[in-house]
Amino acid sequence: MCDFSARLVAWMDGELATNEAASVEQHVRACEHCRERVSAYEEVSRGFAAYYTATTQTAIAAKTPRKLPRFVPVLAAAAAALLLLLALLPRTVKPVPAPPQVAVVHPPIALEPAAKPLKPVQRRHVAAHRKASNQDWAMAGPAIQIAIPADAMFPPGAVPEGITYIANLSLTDGSVQGIRLQP
């Protein structure tokens, strides 16, 4: 056993300091046993490199299928069953009727005490050919009167102060049939 035998691999790998590497090299030139050892270590190193490259290359090339988490098939089956159930269920839910459209009149200024409170009324389609005349108006159903101060409708100075208009709303079957303003 030579003194340098413990540093032969490091010397092969160029890992020794310059002075130490020179000493080992000088010894290896003179020692046949160490030359054989160096040759054997080089052969083993090449064999390991070939083995390492071959085994890892085949391992990298072999594509392994990605495993799904265990809960994924369960969730997929549950989702499919739910969709099937929804598709097979009869449509028993009745559509909710839309709320009737209500016209609300907001008086711009406080009403006079004599005025009746405005009730929300249902709006109906009014035939285009129907024209409200004074006679029709008189023939109409119960009327609602709303007092509207003039300065709420006209610019200041357009009408004398203190004038209040009365809006007559004639109702037929609960719907507004006509509006007339009287000073």
Between 52 and 154, whose beta carbon lies closer to another protein?
52
In the complex with another protein, the residue whose CB is nearer, 25 or 112, is 25
Position 63 contacts another protein (CB under 8 A): yes
Q: Does 56 bind another protein (CB under 8 A)?
A: yes
Long-range contacts of 31-38 (CB under 8 A, 24+ apart): 31/2, 31/4, 33/2, 34/2, 34/4, 34/5, 34/8, 37/5, 37/8, 38/8, 38/11, 38/12
**What tokens does 134 get?**
């004074």
Per-residue mark of binding to another protein, 65-84 (x: CB under 8 A): -x------------------
55 binds another protein (CB under 8 A): yes
In terms of CB distance, is 46 or 130 closer to another protein? Answer: 46
Question: What would the x/- binding string for another protein be over residues 22 to 51, using CB under 8 A?
Answer: ---------------x--xx-xxx-xxxxx
Does 9 contact another protein by CB under 8 A? yes
Query: Is residue 58 near another protein by the rule CB under 8 A?
Result: yes
Least separation, in Å, of the C-beta of 30 and another protein? 21
Q: Tell me 17's DSSP state.
A: -
Q: Which is nearer to another protein, 57 or 133 (CB)?
A: 57
Strand pairing report for 143-149 and 164-172: antiparallel
CA gap 178, 89 in Å, rounded = 50
Shortest distance, CB of residue 9 to another protein, whole angstroms? 5
Residue type, 139: M
Contact 105, 130 (CB under 8 A): no
Q: Which of 30, 59, 114, 127 binds another protein (CB under 8 A)?
A: 59
Rg of the Cα atoms in the chain:
52
Contact 166, 152 (CB under 8 A): no
Residues that bind another protein in the complex, under the rule CB under 8 A: 6-10, 13, 15, 37, 40-41, 43-45, 47-64, 66
